[in-house]
Amino acid sequence: SGMPIILALQGAFAEHQTTLNNLANKSCTKVKSMPKLLSKLVRTPAELAECDALIIPGGESTTMALLARISGLLEPLREFVQRKPVWGTCAGAILLAESIEGSKKGGQELLGGMAVKIGRNGFGSQIDSFEAPLLCSPEAVALTKRPEEFVGVFIRAPVVLGITEDPSRPKIQVLAKISPEALPKSEDATDSTTPEDDPRLIVALRQGHLVLTTFHPELTKDDRFHEYFVLEVVMPTFSAPPTPS
Ligand code: GLN
């Protein structure tokens, strides 16, 4: 099968689709062995069953979880994230977290999968939206092969409040941080908080086949995060050698 990706319940799915379609035209010639990259919208459990990978877009996480429940997608999605590559952007990142700050029982429903605790609207009401250059991990080839900085677009973005290290699970890798000098001032910052230790700096993480970005790479012309997800997260699941017995 191809790789139909993108969840279209709500949010910025059309922008992801445009970026993926442009990337498909580029990378099919570049990577000969690549299965055809299809970007399809996914709205039903039957459509999800056709997918080899998924992008969950930004939007509104509570609404998205509610629509997923109504469409019968919540449990299939929880199953999906355990097995197949998924990338959540912004609201999608919230859904991929295992726990969320300040949510009462019966509040926000999550898909889980990543051993992180997330906080919604982590940059406060003063700064609903901002842009900031990112520092990307050199381990992510697609993210660092061009010299210019990737500029992250943050819109009522969540923040990663904690990472649970568990040796029995894939290691959590930091893919990108905000350049410390570009971090918006926190409302409750004290003089002793140095920008370098501010937990809000971490904005992109990978854990095995799952990727989370708290910003919106689909709202910029820069397709490096899409290329990273397709080439370095999704593709290896197609070409993985048989596991030795
Ligand atoms: N604040 C939104 C939420 O909690 C996420 C915003 C976004 O996806 N741009 O779901």
Q: What CATH number has the domain bearing residue 170?
A: 3.40.50.880
Which of 30-34, 75-79, 196-200 has the least mean pLDDT? 30-34
Q: How far apart are the C-alpha atoms of 67 and 7, rounded to whole Å?
A: 11
Full domain range(s) for residue 67: 13-191+199-239
Reported as a single tens digit per residue, the pLDDT across 134-174 is 999 999 999 999 999 999 999 999 999 999 989 999 999 99
Q: Which residues sit opposite 149 in a β-bridge?
A: none
The structure's pTM equals 0.90
Q: Is residue 1 part of a domain?
A: no
Q: Which residue has the higher pLDDT, 193 or 223?
A: 223
Helix (H) or strand (E) holding 173: strand 172-178
Q: What is the pLDDT of residues 163-189, one digit of tens each?
A: 998 999 999 999 999 998 888 876 665
136 is catalytic: no
Which helix (H) or strand (E) segment holds residue 233: the answer is none
- Please check whether residue 76 lies inside any domain of the structure: yes
Q: How confident is the model at residue 20 (pLDDT cuts 50, 70, 90)?
A: confident
Q: Which residue has the tokens 């210019």?
A: 148
pLDDT surpasses 60 at 24:
yes
pLDDT of 199: 80
Give domain status of residue 4, yes or no.
no
How many other C-beta atoms lie within 10 A of the C-beta of residue 196?
Answer: 9
* Cα distance between residue 203 and residue 79, in whole Å: 25
Is there a domain that residue 2 lies in? no
90 lines ligand 1 (CB under 6 A): yes
Dihedral angle of Cα 94, 98, 102, 104, to the nearest 10 degrees: 110
Q: Of the residues 15, 16, 51, 90, which is catalytic? A: 90
Total domains present in the chain: 1
Query: Does residue 217 lie in a domain region?
Result: yes
**96 DSSP 8-state letter:** H
Q: Is residue 43 part of a domain?
A: yes
155 labeled part of a ligand binding site: yes
Ligand 1 atom nearest to CA at 61: 10
Give the max Cα distance, the chain. 56
156 lines ligand 1 (CB under 6 A): yes
Q: Which two structure tokens, joined as six digits, stand for 22?
A: 């442009």
83 is in an annotated binding site: no
Could you confirm whether 47 is annotated as catalytic?
no
